[in-house]
Amino acid sequence: MEDFEGKKILVIQTHGVDTPKRTYSPLYYAVASAAMEIETTVWFTMNGTNQLRKGVAEMIKLDPSSNVTLASMLQMCLDNEVKLAVCQQSLALWNMTPDDLIDGVEIFGATTIIDLALNYDHVMYF
């Protein structure tokens, strides 16, 4: 297997709870990346922000017959050391404050995404 030491992937998540089938893939890929020992950050912006509101992700399932919720996917990311970050400006779009966020999410300003994109090896956009 290839050595990925020092590699970094940025996953930009723009889809939220209104399109649940589009919320899972970015998180799944982020966990896979982390399992390959690649530093991974998921940046939530625009509609992606709403899935980070406390109590919301528990209600979202990709498949109604499954017990896997969006909350369990977010927790899987955290358990695998995927960094979760949200755009400060997007919080305002959803009338959210830092107290509304699930645990483990960092808040960054808009210029941070530019810095991350320039310094990471690859950017995946969803």
Domains of the chain are: 8-125 (3.40.1260.10)
Residue found by looking up tokens 């996953």 in the block: 11
29 Cβ contact partners less than 8 Å away, ≥ 6 residues apart = 11, 124
Q: Tell me the pLDDT of the chain (126 aa) as tens digits.
A: 578 889 999 999 999 999 988 999 999 999 999 999 999 999 999 999 999 999 999 999 878 888 889 999 999 999 999 999 999 999 999 999 999 999 999 999 989 999 999 999 999 999
pTM metric for this prediction: 0.94
How close are the terminal C-alpha atoms of the chain, in Å?
A: 27
